[in-house]
Structure 1
Amino acid sequence: MNYKQKLMLPMCAAFLLYGCNSEDNSNGADKNAEDAKTVSQDSSTEVDPQVKAEVKDVEGKTLGTVNFSADENSVVIETALEGLEPGYHGFHVHENAACDADAKEGPFTTAGGHFNPTEETHSSHAGDMPPLYVKEDGTAKYTATLDSITVDQLKKEELAVIVHANPDNFANIPDHYGANGEKGPDEDTLKTGDAGDRQACGIVVSEEEK
């Protein structure tokens, strides 16, 4: 073996080693990419079907919709309504899927009380939602997230959404205000937050039922 051949041996060995490592790294990168794709597919979750209520006034006119969708352990409420009186309104999920505008006891009284499976006082009812604020043009739009009610309940129970005539005080009547000559909230306040008459109603329906 001459001098030049001896000199070339280490260079050839280095080249062969680099080529093998490069191929191994390429295969490793491909495998990592495939693993990541598998993990991504496995971690995808199925989104619960949407639940919604088409809200109508006492004359049967559709005012808009209230949509409910699952977000981990919470429910996202998306509201878009129009044709309402400006100002704050009590806004609740009620216990009966019945929106009779001509009910004997008053419009939409057939919807019963607030959805309250744990028998709490008002402000802790599962069906208590943030007050609805209606702008001067009669429209109301908001998004809220609650964990007091579940999409499962909204799908399985027969429920309705009610828009009340008055603001909702959530039974927040401090003792020093007094109520009917006594201190603290009275019975009606503890039940409904003095939200008043029912101006609009919508039966909660699962998209699966359509």
Structure 2
Amino acid sequence: MARRDSAELNIVVRLSMVVVGLALNGVGIGALIQAGLGLGAWDVLHQGLSDHTGLSFGVVVILVTVAALIPWWPLRERPGVGTILNVFIAGIVIDWVLDWTSSAHALWLRISLMIAGVAIFALGQGMYLAPRLGAGAREGLMTGINRKFGISIRLSRFLIEASVLVLGIILGGSIGLGTVVFTVAIGPSVQLAMRICGYRERTTGDEVTGPVAAGAPGR
């Protein structure tokens, strides 16, 4: 009985980490949007689509996440409960943050929001990924391509995110200092957050979940 209670408590803790982590992802992205100094590759696309469709940023995030799950079936990726929660929570929180805040104008505040946004997003990613309850839709694309076609995680990540960024720029998404800071800082920051949250890598090399997740936000 004690062992069962411990297992139930463990899954409750892990699920709570996933939910809080995804919510922090949404807060971090909201801060980056309000900073107005540029977004990460996927969010450049989300913003461009939002501007062209009239849909809210959060709704676009949800729809793109669903679209990113479609190739999982031919790539033989398996979603987990974290994958399903990933579809909705961040997008809902992003819209909530944008509804209750406004764009920053003072440069010092914009830079502060940018730095805080990256830090909060990284902490959220660490909390989401550490419990191992399912990869994010975008992360699953990269690991699926790695297994299906033998393309390294790093190369598949680069090809996908470069394509997403170019499309987002074409659609008018926001790029700038924040894009550079996010791209450079997010990998090491997420790896640190994952370690703080108790994540331990199972293997080494290109197929390690830790570097994959750290290099590619699992939203």
Normalised TM-score (structure 2): 0.28
Normalised TM-score (structure 1): 0.28
Greater Cα radius of gyration, structure 1 or 2? 1
Which has a greater percent of strand?
Answer: 1
Which has a greater percent of helix?
Answer: 2
